[in-house]
Chains A and B, each alone.
Chain A
Amino acid sequence: MAKHYEGNPHAIDDGKRLFSWYNCDGCHFHGGGGIGPPLMTGHWRYGGQLDQIFESIAQGRPNGMPSWQGKLPAAQIWELAAYVKSMSAPTATNGPGQPVPQTAAPPLAPAPPPTSVTPATQSTPPP
């Protein structure tokens, strides 16, 4: 089963949509983590093979990962696993260990600094 989903672009695309739909991004965000661990580092608490990631999603894990078995069809859990695994995968444009582009994140172009200043940051010479 894992072979069918691993690296499958359609499965990864679907998994990405489900990742947001089922609030996975509420804990893992776009791979950096928050309540849950990061998923873009290539280091896995419970194993990084696709079937191990499937198990983590299906069974849940004791330190807070909920179990999705019985709530989601197995095919969706495989798609989620494929997407999760892809987050740490090296790509043509990103060398090994580099992050997958985070298209869902707000763009991060530097913005001009705000111009007005609060009293607390105004300075007057000491008396």
Chain B
Amino acid sequence: MTHATSRPISIRCARGVLPLLLAAAPLPALADPPAPSAATAPKDDGQWTMPAKNYAATRYSELTEINGETVKRLQVAFTFSTGVNRGQEAAPLVVNNTMYIVTPFPNNVFALDLTKPGAPMKWEYQPYPEAAAQGVACCDVVNRGAAIADGRLFFNTLDGNTIALDAATGRELWKTKLGRINLGETITMAPLVARDRVIVGNSGGELGVRGWLAGLDTANGKVMWKAFATGPDKDVLIGPDFHPFYDSDRGQDLGVKSWPPDAWKTGGGTMWGWTTYDPDLNLLYAGTANPGPWNQEQRPGDNKWTAGIFARDPETGAAKWFYQYTPHDEHDYDGINEILLLDMTIDGKPRKVLLHPDRNGYLYELDRTNGEVLSADPYAYVNSITHIDLRTGRPVMNPAKATRLGTVVRDICPTASGGKDWNPSAYSPRTGFLYIPHENMCMDWEDVQANYIAGTPYVGANVVMKAGPGGNRGEFTAWDVTNHKPVWSIREDLPMWSGALATGGDLVFYGTMDGWFKALDARSGQQKWAFKTGSGIIGQPVAYRGPDGHEYVAVLSGVGGWAGAVVSGNLDPRDPTGAIGFLGVTGDLKQKTTPGGTLYVFALPPQ
């Protein structure tokens, strides 16, 4: 049954409850909104083969059957229990009338036959990862999904394996061990297929690991290259082809020299988020996560190449350029959030850009051919950075929010989890808006001495998070990418941990941590439909065309992740420092949702 009583915090006005509208006047008639290139966003075939939908990472479906007129009739078509009550962050994939789901640890994979009533199971694959991997996963035992290409399904396991399956039968084709849990390495990211490489990176930035990104041969799983995010140039795959835009990224072995002696060996810079690829430029884009430990006094220097983004050759891994969003990060601002590829006209000139809403609260627009920052605007409440200096590319930090040993620095915004965390935005080429699911939170932070013991946390900070200005912890903002400003914004009470989906029906979808799955008008932000699922939603919604020719929308429900660990791990919020500070801001979540793991698929009722 549909339901429409969900009430995002919004402004009441004469026309009733409307989302917070920020444009003072109707926009003048403009040229078509920016669009991705054909190579990065081919015409929609109704499938969903990778979590981001396409290399442009728009998470935009061209399907129009479910729209502002029809969505009020949207109802459940079928459900499926994943059998795992931990945080469900994966995107369901749809290829050849089959739906594929990867669960959190133990990372079981299910194929569901969409041609039959109720979508019965076609096959299941169980990788049986090592149970001890759960003890080195910083932020719940999540998995962000699979990728499918040429009849093969690729996914990662928490204990550090990449596995290829025959998508038709579930038969294992190859399995490659990449991560070592005894060093604190896990893998939680969704792999990316670029040409004949599967791109995989590690997690473990809170356990003193050394971050890396690897390119595996899709045919046999052989590791063709592995690029570290710290250490000497030869380990980072920096060579003669490396041409960073800014002076501060030029020099020999900066991955060693920008650290105290040997600190780069436990310096983080993992890659657990989103990578993407531009076939025209033959460039692979991959961010790097926070430096470790969090206690910044233990690692003076820029800490290259953490908290930034590399462009690489996907065949060889060779670095082409790098840009560091947050040099010497001291607030856990990883650089691994989603990267959207758009072709835009800027100052009358066509530019190939990438958009990246970073953990540090700024939305970056980079020239993706060379790494030049074209603009950087705050999309969330930020007081730790005053602005981004476009001449040097460096953020100008607010010294009052610098973290220190033995001092509690209060009200740093955004939190360690960022203006937004991993949960990806969507972009509609019809509206020209980027739909950003994000946070509105701040934190108190005290640096403490971190001791390195392999396979245990290496953080060195006491953190307590809290709601940001206004008291709401989450927000869903439509951002006009041409005019660099928010158009409307929905305030959500709970932290926002679900991804966004935009459709040709001019709707946007997202979920809340208490289980509401919502559809909004993509232009006005007005809520058009909502459904209460069994558990909080932290997954990635998708849309696809079923074998019957009709549009379906799918999402996994099951709270968890860093933000929902209080529920999925049954933690005790009386200790606000728990879950690296998230217990301070999720003390009420156990009263609002329970653990779960269920796929929900929605469609319009048959006429």
Contacts and interface: CB of A to CB of B under 8 A. Distances in A.
A23 B451 contact: yes
B450 to A, nearest CB: 8
Interface residues of A, number: 46
A112 B583 CA distance: 20
A102 B132 contact: no
A93 interface: no
A32 B575 contact: yes
Interface string B565-589: 1000111111111111001100000
B381 interface: yes
B486 A119 contact: yes
B235 to A, nearest CB: 27
B82 interface: no
A95 interface: no
B469 A114 contact: yes
Contacts of B442: 114
Interface residues of B, number: 70
A124 B22 CA distance: 5
Given A63-B135, A121-B489, 15 more contacts: A23-B453, A26-B457, A32-B572, A32-B583, A38-B578, A108-B464, A111-B411, A116-B383, A118-B378, A119-B378, A120-B381, A121-B381, A121-B469, A125-B21, A126-B21
A3 B214 CA distance: 53
Interface string A25-45: 011011111111110110000
A33 B135 contact: no
Contacts of B570: 37-38
A117 B381 contact: yes
Interface string B438-471: 0010101110100101011111001110001110
Nearest to A124: B24
Contacts of A121: 20, 381, 440, 469-470, 489
What 7 A-B pairs have minimum CB-CB distances, sorted nearest first? A64-B135, A26-B457, A32-B578, A32-B575, A38-B572, A126-B21, A23-B456
A104 B381 CA distance: 29
A40 B574 contact: yes
Interface string A70-108: 000000000000000000000000000001001011111
A30 B575 contact: yes
Interface of B: 11, 13, 15, 18, 20-26, 131-138, 206, 377-383, 408, 410-411, 413, 440, 442, 444-446, 448, 451, 453, 455-459, 462-464, 468-470, 475, 477, 485-486, 489, 565, 569-580, 583-584
Contacts of A35: 134-138, 457
B167 to A, nearest CB: 31
Interface string A1-38: 00000000000000000001111001101111111111
Given A35-B135, A114-B411, A66 B456 contact: yes
Nearest to A123: B20
Nearest to B440: A121
B578 A30 contact: yes
11 contacts: A29-B583, A30-B577, A32-B579, A62-B131, A102-B577, A108-B464, A117-B469, A118-B379, A119-B486, A124-B23, A127-B25
Contact of B579 (A23, A34, A124): A34
A127 B206 CA distance: 47
Contacts of A40: 572, 574-575
